[in-house]
Amino acid sequence: MKNLKLIIASALLLISVQLTAQETVTVPLSNPGKEGLLKLGIISGSITVKGYSGKEVIVKATRREGRKSRRKSNTTKNGLKRISVNSLEFSAEEYDNTVRVRNSVHGTTDFDIQVPKNFSLKISTVNRGEIYVENVNGTMDISNTNGKITLKDISGSVSADALNKDIKVTFVKVTPDVPMAFSSLNGDIDITFPKDIKADIKVKSDRGEIFTDFDLKTKPSKAKITKGESSNGNTYKVKVEKWITGSINGGGAEILFKNFNGDVIIRSK
């Protein structure tokens, strides 16, 4: 693996791997003492990110075995036997403390990544996987279409959406005066904040319940009024939505919770 590392004067690191099953690469940072950013978006697979006391980003990728084909194993074509391909292919590129990981769009690959504790994240997956983050401090943009999101013992700010599964987040510390947002369509949103957080809350769940143990000072909802033009002339539309708004500990940056079929749970710790 030593031959896979190439460091050039522009501080650009590119590691390309085309092996089978599993591989681990280590990515040095241009400025190890400063905060970094990890970017990773995949189509199929799980993503795990954990903060540690080191100064490099360690990327471990594991290719899952493909689903068994309905074709017979001895399928031939014009007398030729079919050869199954289960190779692993991904790359990691670093520039100015931003690490971008890419993998092949074919097959399912799980990523297990270690980052320095002060690291921001922009990660997403679509199918056949979950997202799990632990012990990281930074700005996090997390998205999972068909799997759950779990963020444990994190600090900073979060924007997270999970279309069909749960979102569960436990904060150790929250960056003050930074807005956050959590949304789901078919899963619960369960967020635990430090008990001394100062925030303005905006929450809505069409077919679920809302729970909290904070002393939430609620405010009356305001009707949304719009004016415009239509084929019938000028229009005047009044829309009343089921948003609950309020403040915690005197108020602060807005935290938005939006759900459709699941509950919203806002806890204090």
Is 88 within the bounds of a domain?
A: yes
Do residues 161 and 182 lie in contact, with contact meaning Cβ atoms separated by under 8 Å? yes
Q: Chain centroid to CA 85: how far?
A: 29
pLDDT at 5: 42
What pLDDT score was predicted for residue 199? 97
Residue stretches of the chain with pLDDT short of 70: 1-20, 66-76, 81-86, 220-234, 239-241
| CB atoms inside a 10 Å sphere around CB 162 | 28
Q: In this predicted structure, what is the pLDDT of residue 75? A: 58
Cβ atoms of 237 and 226 within 8 Å: the answer is yes
Number of domains composing the chain: 1
Q: Does residue 73 fall inside a structural domain? A: no
How far the first Cα of the chain sits from its last, in Å, is 44
Q: Where are the beta strands (DSSP E) in 84-187?
A: 87-95, 98-103, 109-116, 119-125, 131-134, 137-144, 149-162, 167-174, 180-184
Cβ atoms of 116 and 135 closer than 8 Å: no
Which pLDDT does position 33 carry in this prediction? 86
Q: For residue range 83-109, what is the model confidence (pLDDT) as tens digits? A: 555 578 899 999 999 999 998 888 899
Q: What is the pLDDT of residue 243?
A: 87
CA angle 121/100/64 to nearest 5° reads: 90
Which amino acid belongs to residue 243? W
Predicted pLDDT of residue 10? 30
- In which domain, by residue range, is 146 found? 2-66+79-268
